Amino acid sequence: MTRRASLLVVLTLAGCGGSAAHSTSTQRSAPPPSKAYTASLAYAKCLRAHGLDHPDPDANGDFSLTPKEEERLKESAPLKDRQQADRECFHLLKGTVSTKPLSKAAQHAALAPLRELKRCLKGFGYDVGNPVVENLQRGRAMFGFDTSGRQPSTKAGRTKRHDAQITCEKRVRLAQRLDEIIKIDRGEGR
């Protein structure tokens, strides 16, 4: 069975910036980066040192890979090399990332935005399989579909489908909604 991962979310914590004083040129310095951001950045650099094309985390320390980033990462090295790099670098995240798998309730909740994504893609003429949420190792989760549907045969067709996927993910606020479900499930939200 072919699986198409739409998003891979690893960690969540907050970061912030500095502010200026009223009418003087004195500025407060920005607070140091969070432990989650620092650990995630070290992890990304370690993966790159192992030859993987892995992006940096966002300011919160989260990795939310776009389909294009996922594809580049897969193309940068064979699966066994990616797994080996993860094993060698994961220690950098210990203490900053939850390795708790998603509960059944969170997995069920995550199906709702995936169903909306499927409907949106259908509106563009693309039919994908049934929504799937799977727990992976070390607290990671895969959100996608059990089949990716019929793939366009031309580069222009693949680009058009990719653009539709990006548009639909934004319309249904997929990344934000999945992140919120994960935070609540792990006791970090609200």
Return the domain boundaries, the chain. 32-97, 99-190
Could you say which DSSP state residue 61 is in?
S
Residue 44's pLDDT is 94
Mean model confidence pLDDT for the chain? 81
Residue 50's pLDDT is 94
Residue 169's pLDDT is 93
Residue 28's pLDDT is 64
3-state class (DSSP) for residue 143: strand
Please say if the pLDDT value at position 166 is more than 70.
yes
Question: pLDDT digits over 45-89, tens only?
Answer: 999 999 998 999 888 888 877 777 888 888 889 999 999 999 999
- The values of phi and psi at residue 150, to 5°, are -70, 125
Give Cα separations from 6 to 23, 66, 188 (angstroms).
Answer: 47, 7, 23
Q: How much of the chain, in percent, has pLDDT values that exceed 90? A: 46
Could you say which DSSP state residue 172 is in?
T
Identify the burial level of 78 via C-beta atoms within 10 angstroms of its C-beta, where 0-12 means exposed, 13-18 middle and 19 or more buried.
Answer: exposed
Residue type, 162: H
Please say if the pLDDT value at position 5 is more than 60.
no
Is the distance from CB of 89 to CB of 43 less than 8 angstroms? yes
Residue 126's pLDDT is 92
Please say if the pLDDT value at position 4 is more than 90.
no
- The pTM (predicted TM-score) of the whole model is 0.68
